[in-house]
Structure 1
Amino acid sequence: MSFVDPALIPLIERIHAARNAGAQLDIRGSGSKGFYGETPQGEAFDVTGLSGISSYEPTELVVTARCGTTLAELETVLAEKGQCLPFEPPHFGAGATVGGMVAAGLSGPSRATVGAVRDFILGATMLNGRGELLSFGGQVMKNVAGYDVSRVLAGSMGTLGVICEVSLKVLPVAPATATLRFPMSQADALQQLNRWGGQPLPINASAWWSDMLVVRLRGALAAVNAAIATLGGELIEGADAGDFWHGLREHSDEFFVGAKRAVKSGSGIALWRVSVPQTAPPLALPGEELLEWGGAQRWLCSAVPAAAVRDAAARAGGHATLFYSAGKVGGVFAPLQSPLDRIHRELKKAFDPAGIFNPGRLYPGL
């Protein structure tokens, strides 16, 4: 008889009870990302009790943590060893958890250069809709046996099952960092970022807003100093630079605070997250924009109808997600076309045949 972690037993029993009663469960951590995705449905299913760092091997650059472990705790432990989660997952709240980080699949300012959440997931365990504990991947970087389901969990919004534990690749903190800013228009900023992208520069993150381009350099001290001399611009000193990138990551800076205030005003304004190729020209939509990821992520605060935003994103070769809004009219995520829609529904059926977990959170009817 296989061993079952005692901490999982209450969760398994709750899943069995829900399945027998035909009930649905809304998987919750701290709720810091409760605004994201479609409106939550079902009975609250708190998984924050499943917490703690299971193992950490600094020399192997691997950490394994339970779903209810707070990101603050995990990042503190990593920092003590001079390591970090390089994709800079946003917290959006003091109690943000590892499980919520994976389920939401959101990454911070450095995503374009280091990779997304899913790129750092080595393995995971999860409870499916039958209350069975499944294990995928492992704790080594070359584990490629079977389907890479652990990475599919990133951005799944809890629709496939309860993420119990995750093994993550971590990296050393860069020895040097610097932030530069350059006054320029959006069109000029996009052209400049594309030119720099073809050069061996240690650019780690970028942001453009209100005719100001800000770039973060990270890497070896010699490389960062050489890049400063090459790029020019105005150097932003340590504390101010750190505050800027933290505000961008946590949506607590001036642009996002203003966007959230506008959304709450009842004027029909929404904040869109538009994903397009870095080489795409300006979207030419009314509203205020902030660009990240070398131009690949464009935040649009606008009252433009959902269909118009999605049409503009599609013409640019991308898609649009409704991030902050007073309602969910028009859907949050870009509608899926076949065969992607069929793949999503088959995955849901395989892992959660009774439709217990987070119904409709990713797409209505899923």
Structure 2
Amino acid sequence: MPDESPTTLRPATVRPTSLAETAAAVEAAAAEQRSLLFTGAGTALSWGAPVTGTDVVLETTGLDRLVGHAAEDWTVSVEAGMPLSRLQQLLAPSGQWLPLDPPTERAGATLGGLLAGGDTGPRRLKYGGLSDLVIGATLVLADGSVVRTGSGVIKNVAGYDLAKLMAGSLGAFGLIARLTLRVHPLPEATATLTLAVPDPAQALVTARAAMRSPLEPVAVEWDGQQLLVRFHGTADSAAARGRLAADIPELAAARVLDTDAEQAAWERLSGLVHGEDGDTVLRAGTHPSLLPILHRRLRALAEDAGVEATLVSGVAQGVHTLRLRGGDAGTHAACLTAWREAAHEAGGSVTLRRRREGVDAVAASWGPAPPTAPVLRSLKQQFDPDGRCAPGRFAPWF
């Protein structure tokens, strides 16, 4: 028989179906000093640095119940393993929704995974991200203890907004088990303006004009070739905004997409952000004015490396996504490292979300540690002193 050492054994998988089972599974892992990886639909497993030495994979897809929906109070409580798409279906009959459109939604992204990943979509311009909609959370910490924060608090951890702490933590501080969320009225209609703007500097000027206008867009995105400006409202108000754009010089040449074209445009943008197998994808946050500089830097790097590069941007907010394809792991690594360095030098932050096979062997998953690294290390020590949750995810920061 082949020798199966501890390093070659596959991690055990548990799929609890209740909060009590979840806490018990985490507590048992703690008692045995076993490392944990939390996963829902797995849409963000490649984000950050690779997790190393996992003993137990805890799947949250069994935690998928609607706990309560107070439509009159505009709140909903739900287990964190529920997919966002399913929750939207449950809310729709009440004329409500979560105003989120992350690119991972079509892949089944769960609410807990979206919060842990800090994943957002174009509508963040108007509504913010999931963490901005959380009014209460139930978490399971590394020792199996259950803590609650926000509305309906039974046990809290003084001094921390734990829901905000979990946003972007990638499972390194504990497990998100339940969320209480603020919902919004489901818009009657949407409309999208499109304007050909291949130049990023002009895209920035046009986006600023849209933001200063009375149009009140919920999303302003540049896909590398065109600017997309989206509105919500009644059918009449959405149509009226489309007509009003003609009076804004920078948007005078824009046209209103029909329903099918609107859906196709946003799906294309989502695909560019999400990427595909074989791509390398970076997500960066910078001051919006840096888009032209980052675009020029990328074009030079891609030309030198011989790779196809795409940069799309939530240009009104400075949220940029770089996608590389073609070439080999070495060229991807060189390009991502140099572009990430440029973003960091400009004061931005960058997360590696997807990488071509082999990139990890020649490129660091994270860039230089941020100024907040000592705080992050302190939080990790407080909430997971043995480093058992998602070990290696933020290496070498902590």
TM-score (normalizing by structure 1) = 0.86
Structure 1 portions without partners, runs of 5+: 264-269
Corresponding residue to 1:239 among 254, 260, 268: 260
- Count of aligned positions: 347
The whole-number CA distance in structure 2 between the counterparts of 1:57 and 1:330 is 48
Which residue pairs with 2:288 in the alignment?
278
Corresponding residue to 1:22 among 26, 30, 33: 33
1:24–1:280 Cα change, 3 Å: same
Cα shift readout 1:194-219 (whole Å, capped 9, x = no counterpart): 12222222211122234322211223
Which residue pairs with 1:266 in the alignment?
none
Percent of counterpart pairs with the same letter? 29
The whole-number CA distance in structure 2 between the counterparts of 1:91 and 1:260 is 12
Corresponding residue to 2:49 among 22, 25, 38: 38
Q: Report the AA paired with residue 347 of structure 2.
A: G
Which residue pairs with 1:297 in the alignment?
319
1:89–1:301 Cα change, 3 Å: closer
1:57–1:93 Cα change, 3 Å: same
Structure 2 portions without partners, runs of 5+: 1-15, 247-253, 300-308, 325-331
The whole-number CA distance in structure 1 between the counterparts of 2:110 and 2:216 is 30
Q: How large is the Cα RMSD of the aligned pairs? A: 2.6
Q: Is the 8 A contact 1:51 1:65 kept in 2?
A: yes
The whole-number CA distance in structure 2 between the counterparts of 1:210 and 1:151 is 32
Pair 1:357 & 2:389 matched: yes
3-state secondary structure, aligned to 1:279: helix
Q: Report the AA paired with residue 342 of structure 1.
A: P
The whole-number CA distance in structure 1 between the counterparts of 2:364 and 2:69 is 40
Shift of residue 147, structure 1, vs aligned partner: 2.6
Shift of residue 239, structure 1, vs aligned partner: 2.3
User: Which stretch has the larger CA shift, 37-46 or 180-189?
Assistant: 37-46
Cα shift readout 1:24-76 (whole Å, capped 9, x = no counterpart): 01112222322222213312122222220101111211111112222222110
1:112–1:70 Cα change, 3 Å: same
> Where do 1:194-213 residues align within 5 Å?
194-213=208-227
Which residue pairs with 2:126 in the alignment?
113
The whole-number CA distance in structure 2 between the counterparts of 1:331 and 1:169 is 38
User: Which stretch has the larger CA shift, 7-16 or 60-69?
Assistant: 7-16
1:365–1:212 Cα change, 3 Å: closer
Shift of residue 156, structure 1, vs aligned partner: 0.9
1:262–1:187 Cα change, 3 Å: farther
> Where do 1:209-358 residues align within 5 Å?
209-221=223-235, 223-232=237-246, 233-249=254-270, 251=271, 255=272, 260=276, 263=279, 270-282=280-292, 283=294, 284=296, 285-286=298-299, 287-294=309-316, 296-302=318-324, 303=332, 304-326=334-356, 327-328=359-360, 329-338=362-371, 340-358=372-390
> Where do 1:159-198 residues align within 5 Å?
159-184=172-197, 185-198=199-212
Shift of residue 94, structure 1, vs aligned partner: 4.4
TM-score (normalizing by structure 2) = 0.79
Q: Once superposed, which parts of structure 1, at least 4 consecutive aligned residues long, lie more than 6 Å away?
A: none
Shift of residue 165, structure 1, vs aligned partner: 0.5
Corresponding residue to 2:137 among 103, 108, 124: 124
Q: Report the AA paired with residue 121 of structure 1.
A: V
3-state secondary structure, aligned to 1:109: coil
